[in-house]
Amino acid sequence: LLRQQEPQQHPWEPGKQTPPPTRSHRLSLPASFAKMATEGLHENETLASLKNEAESLKGKLEEETMFLHDVLFHQVAERVEALGQFVMKTRRTLKGHGNKVLCMDWCKDKRRIVSSSQDGKVIVWDSFTTNKEHAVTMPCTWVMACAYAPSGCAIACGGLDNKCSVYPLTFDKNENMAAKKKSVAMHTNYLSACSFTNSDMQILTASGDGTCALWDVESGQLLQSFHGHGADVLCLDLAPSETGNTFVSGGCDKKAMVWDMRSGQCIQSFETHDSDINSVRYYPSGDAFASGSDDATCRLYDLRADREVAIYSKESIIFGASSVDFSLSGRLLFAGYNDYTINVWDVLKGSRVSILFGHENRVSTLRVSPDGTAFCSGSWDHTLRIWA
């Protein structure tokens, strides 16, 4: 997305007139920069000149925003057929956690699920049969994050222990799962989210310490850290592998930030929510992502337009959205809320198509299965439900 910085547009080119950029005449720089250009950059920059440049760049960005925001997202969707009635029911209920379910993840085999709870337990389930296949007790309570490895042979989890640990899954009844535990990530505050990258070898973590980090699983080495959030980071999601090495994170600073995994740089940042962002999820094409927030709204951000394009909200919805995920085509957005419900949104038209009742406490986590046949929700009511 980053355009090569054309030399003519660099404000510090000594003596040169800045020709109008090819994109839009509205984006040309003011003449005062030509004067400042003669002063050179690092040695002679002053606070005033930097502030001037900042203001000018901000103005430029605002103008461009107005120019590009040529239509409302939902207007374009008017030509799309409306969705019919949805009948989605709880097909399975997974019971076994002794306390609030905080996180869950699907295995790539589309049937196994790992879930973690406030009571420190991490359980692997067969969602077809509802049988528990593995269980491990963590040394800490509030296991806020868990993830399945792409191979299906391991899981990662962590929470108030400030770490992310990897447990290989073994079917040997005699082996104690906890014995093979490997500590991978170390943060200075709680672990809020974790995800394997496209292999079992690397893990991406988000933490209450305000940072995200990329780790090598085998050595535990920190490969890259991501600084920029002004408060706890609560969630992250990796871009679909076709779109390259980026991920999005959301935090208590109300910001959603998109990062380049190799350089550690924040490449885009969005601040339109009014409260903590609890969940972020990429649209299946990788060109957009959705967020769920304590401000009771979910929002859609388009990465190439570089802006928020839709808000999913209703006056009657006043509790925070804790977790969001898209159906396979991206047409539906499933969102779990703190008022115990799950709302299903028509992503294109912005309307709610269904509301699902069943959980008896907050919905804390929600993921669509890898083949899109169902989605799973986890709740403070100690259960997980599979819906289809």
Partner 1 sequence: LQEGGFSRAGARSRWQTMSTTNNIAQARKLVEQLRIEAGIERIKVSKASSELMNYCEQHARNDPLLVGVPASENPFKDKKPCIIL
Q: Choose, by CB under 8 A, the member of 82, 178, 318, 328 that binds partner 1.
A: 328
* DSSP at 19: P
Contacts of 194 (CB under 8 A, 6+ apart): 145, 146, 147, 156, 157, 158, 164, 185, 203, 204, 205, 206
Supply the minimum distance, in Å, between the C-beta of residue 350 and partner 1: 11
Closest to partner 1 by CB, 29 vs 155, is: 29
Q: Does 71 bind partner 1 (CB under 8 A)?
A: yes
174: three-class secondary structure by DSSP: coil
Integer CA distances (angstroms), 52 to 11, 58, 335, 349, in order: 12, 10, 43, 41
Pull the structure tokens for residue 331.
């047409």
Q: Does 88 bind partner 1 (CB under 8 A)?
A: yes
118: three-class secondary structure by DSSP: coil
305: three-class secondary structure by DSSP: coil
**What DSSP element (H or E) covers 168?**
strand 163-168
Q: Choose, by CB under 8 A, the member of 30, 80, 82, 227 that binds partner 1.
A: 80
Supply the minimum distance, in Å, between the C-beta of residue 68 and partner 1: 5
Determine the Cα–Cα distance for residues 387 and 92; give it in Å rounded to an integer: 7
Q: Choose, by CB under 8 A, the member of 348, 356, 363, 366 that binds partner 1.
A: 348
Q: Choose, by CB under 8 A, the member of 34, 77, 222, 223 that binds partner 1.
A: 77
Q: Does 283 bind partner 1 (CB under 8 A)?
A: yes
Q: How many residues bind partner 1 (CB under 8 A)?
A: 68
Interaction mask 38-67, partner 1, x per CB under 8 A: -x---xxxxxx-xx-xx--xx-xx--x---
Determine the Cα–Cα distance for residues 289 and 237; give it in Å rounded to an integer: 9
Q: Does 106 bind partner 1 (CB under 8 A)?
A: no
Closest to partner 1 by CB, 60 vs 181, is: 60
Contacts of 287 (CB under 8 A, 6+ apart): 243, 302, 303, 304
Determine the Cα–Cα distance for residues 358 and 340; give it in Å rounded to an integer: 8
Q: In sequence order, what E strands does 262-383 have?
A: 266-270, 277-282, 288-293, 298-302, 307-312, 321-326, 332-337, 342-346, 352-356, 363-368, 375-379
Closest to partner 1 by CB, 119 vs 133, is: 133
Q: Choose, by CB under 8 A, the member of 19, 219, 329, 360 that binds partner 1.
A: 329
For residue 153, is it left (φ>0), alpha (ψ between -120 and 50) or beta?
A: alpha
Q: Does 172 bind partner 1 (CB under 8 A)?
A: no
Q: Does 223 bind partner 1 (CB under 8 A)?
A: no
Q: Does 230 bind partner 1 (CB under 8 A)?
A: no
Interaction mask 1-40, partner 1, x per CB under 8 A: xxx-x---------------------------------x-
Q: Does 375 bind partner 1 (CB under 8 A)?
A: yes
Q: Does 355 bind partner 1 (CB under 8 A)?
A: no
Neighbour count for residue 78 (Cβ, 10 Å): 10
Q: Does 373 bind partner 1 (CB under 8 A)?
A: yes
Closest CA to 292 of 349, 333, 350, 353: 333
Q: Does 128 bind partner 1 (CB under 8 A)?
A: yes
Bridge-partner residues for 368, per DSSP?
Answer: 375
Interface contacts to partner 1, rule CB under 8 A: 1-3, 5, 39, 43-48, 50-51, 53-54, 57-58, 60-61, 64, 68-73, 76-77, 80, 83, 87-88, 91-92, 111, 127-128, 265-268, 283-285, 287-288, 302, 304-307, 309, 327-332, 347-348, 368, 371-375, 386, 388
